[in-house]
Amino acid sequence: MRTKVGSFLAAAVLAGCAAPEHAGHAHSPYAGQESRGIKALSAEEERGYAEGAGMGFAKAAELNGYPGPAHVLENADALGLTPQQRTAIEFVMNAHKAEARALGDQIVHRERELDALFSARKATPGEIDTATFTIGLLHAKLRASHLKAHLATTAVLTPEQVERYNRARGYAGR
């Protein structure tokens, strides 16, 4: 009985043999990325994780009418935030940024460990499962943090302020 890895490898070898006319002629879209410190992350992605940047994690909230704290604070005057609203949203923003940076640091650390497994030629199916599960869980927590920050921000705003925010951001259908 073949193992899943054995079946995968056999299929990969057969696929490579089936198309010899392409051998050596096509460049990988990954060419040049082999010199990265962490192969799976660009410098921009590493920076984004370290800074707690949005990186599109809250699109489900943002594009459905739940303003984010950073953009609300950037547009505070146009939205007519009260001092109490500004303080509340600054609190949401600071708490979220601290959490997002900590999770981002953990993601980068775990990606570095996964990269090292392959670099040292020590990756095993079990280690891959563990590493990718951990990274996936950290991504889920990070995305949830971004989404919850939008939810908390929206709870502080009036419906009129949310409407003004959406117009200012160019969301016509909101």
Quote the mean pLDDT of the chain: 89
Provide the residue range defining the domain that includes 100.
37-168
Q: State pTM to two decimals.
A: 0.81
pLDDT in tens, 134-164: 999 999 999 999 999 999 999 999 999 999 9
For 58-89, letters b (16+ CB in 10 Å) and e give beebbeebbbbbbbbbebeeebebeeebeebb
Number of domains comprising the chain: 1
The answer to whether position 141 is within a domain reads: yes
pLDDT in tens, 85-124: 999 999 999 999 999 999 999 999 999 999 999 999 999 9
The answer to whether position 30 is within a domain reads: no
